[in-house]
Amino acid sequence: MGEAGVLTTNSKPCRRPVLLAAVLAVVLVGSFFVAEAAADEMTTTTMSGGKGDRGGGRKRRRRSSRRRAEAAAAPLMVPITVLKSAADAGAVCMDGTSPAYHLDPGSGAGNNSWIVNLEGGGWCNNVRACQFRKTSRRGSSDLMEKEIPFGGIMSSSPADNPDFYNWNRVKIRYCDGASFAGEGFDKENGFYFRGQRIWDAVIRHLLSVGMASADQALLTGCSAGGLAVILHCDEFQDFFPRTTAGGGRATTVKCLADAGLFLDAVDVSGGRSLRSYYSDIVAMQGVAPNLPPACTARLDATSCFFPQNVIDGIKTPIFLLNAAYDVWQIQESLAPNGADPGGAWRACKSNRSACDASQMKFLQDFRDQMVASVRGFSGSGSNGLFINSCFAHCQSELPATWSNAAGGSPAIQNKGIARSVGDWYFGRAEVKAIDCPYPCDGTCRHII
């Protein structure tokens, strides 16, 4: 990889004081990396798993058997590459270390196709939160795992991932705290906010080692990485020539944002907790100049960090995969502790079966808001959509939710997530799938 060095020493991942990682690990031990990414975003909430849907002991035993089988399947472990030359351009993690990625090369028919996955893992909005992040793998490449598992859409298994298993698959590590969009330096605290530079430097490096000649390219990411996909989708397209010398299309470029549809929603106290949080991130990390200009030409910068205000202006084909009852948003946007000081929502947001009628009505209204937010987006024939009625967060990188081969992907009208994404990407079928409201869907892999 030229100037980049591959690190092979072992290190232990940082622990997080959140129980969601444990809940997700029960669903799939082999995909701990994605589970921890979701957990890292829930930095203020303690979760306890519910007992699941009604269905009796037999259903629970079947799920337990599936989980044991899934846990036994060893995932592909992919080593880290630290891009040392990126530091010359100021493209550094929050602590000043060089950015990093993991690459599993393609083979056969997929040798000239690329998936670029933007890692998720929350944000930081103040000195205390950024200091914590700076001293973790979310802010320093020195503290990152030296190899990570590739699962779901990143899997090398043709059974689990039939459409993309033999592509070049890259995960760009997340170490800036603003969805790869910040630009600034806090000299007093030693924080480098260089997400936009990291994005640019790593993509240019990948182009230099083969991606520039790609026949097909797909930008993906979940959670904060899913938001990054939405913010950078058209930029990704712009890295590739749109036509060949003969006038044909040079590279088919598309984007997939998983669990990135964060809504500017009213919380249970009548406030807008997530808007306040996002406003702090945008201001602290200098995000405004790097937001999509089609949005900032008409709205303030904080509004343009919300996907609902960006998606209609994206020109590159993009697929939105989201749970209508997104667990992170329930925990941290709709019913965060600050908006629920009396704890009235504590049981509900940890166990959907504990929600009373008024709470479920509130969640159904949130689902309706999500559906309304994609109405214009879904009108484009080039876009894809899969909004299921699950209590989940990130579904493309977990084998249990990505592929039917791993035990039963959530499905809408009998079509699972992997097939839906593949049908959309390769033009086999139009995919504009919106589930009926909870609890109609019996295929979900709920995590609360």
Round to whole Å and give the CA distance between 355 and 349.
8
Round to whole Å and give the CA distance between 262 and 265.
9
Cβ atoms 339, 277 nearer than 8 A: no
- The label of the residue with tokens 């929050």 reads 94
CA distances from 355 to 146, 215, 276, 345, 348 (A): 41, 48, 26, 8, 4
Number of helices followed by number of strands (H, E) in the chain: 12, 15
pTM of the prediction?
0.86
pLDDT of residue 1: 36
How many whole angstroms from its chain centre is CA 430?
Answer: 23
> Is residue 223 annotated as part of the catalytic site, yes or no?
yes
Cis bond upstream, residue 336 (ω within 30): no
pLDDT of residue 74: 76
Grouping H, G, I as helix, E, B as strand and the rest as coil, residue 368 is helix
Alpha helix (H) ranges present in 19-100? 20-27, 32-41, 56-72
Domain boundaries along the sequence of the chain: 5-434
Using CB atoms within 10 Å of the CB of residue 17, give its burial: 0 to 12 exposed, 13 to 18 middle, 19+ buried.
exposed
CA distances from 304 to 279, 284, 291, 418 (A): 10, 15, 7, 29
Cβ atoms 306, 262 nearer than 8 A: yes
Round to whole Å and give the CA distance between 378 and 197.
31
Cβ atoms 391, 23 nearer than 8 A: no
pLDDT of residue 247: 67
> Is residue 205 annotated as part of the catalytic site, yes or no?
no
Using CB atoms within 10 Å of the CB of residue 346, give its burial: 0 to 12 exposed, 13 to 18 middle, 19+ buried.
middle
Tokens of residue 164, six digits: 């993309």
Residue 191, strand partner residues: 186
Catalytic pick among 102, 205, 232, 393: 393
Q: What is the 3-state secondary structure (H, E, C) of 76-97?
A: EEEEEEECHHHHHHCCCCCCCC
Cβ atoms 315, 377 nearer than 8 A: no
Catalytic pick among 98, 223, 373, 396: 223
Round to whole Å and give the CA distance between 190 and 124.
14
Catalytic pick among 264, 326, 340, 435: 326
Give the number of other CB atoms < 10 A from CB of residue 8.
9
Per-residue pLDDT of the chain (448 residues; tens, 9 = 90+): 333 333 323 333 333 333 333 333 333 333 334 334 444 443 333 222 333 333 344 444 444 445 444 444 578 999 999 999 999 999 999 999 999 999 999 999 999 999 999 999 999 999 999 999 999 999 999 999 999 999 999 999 999 999 999 999 999 999 999 999 999 999 999 999 999 999 999 999 999 999 999 999 999 999 999 999 999 999 999 999 877 666 666 899 999 999 999 999 999 999 999 999 999 999 999 999 999 999 999 999 999 999 999 999 999 999 999 999 999 999 999 999 999 999 999 999 999 999 999 999 999 999 999 999 999 999 999 999 999 999 999 999 999 999 877 567 999 999 999 999 999 999 999 999 999 999 999 999 999 9
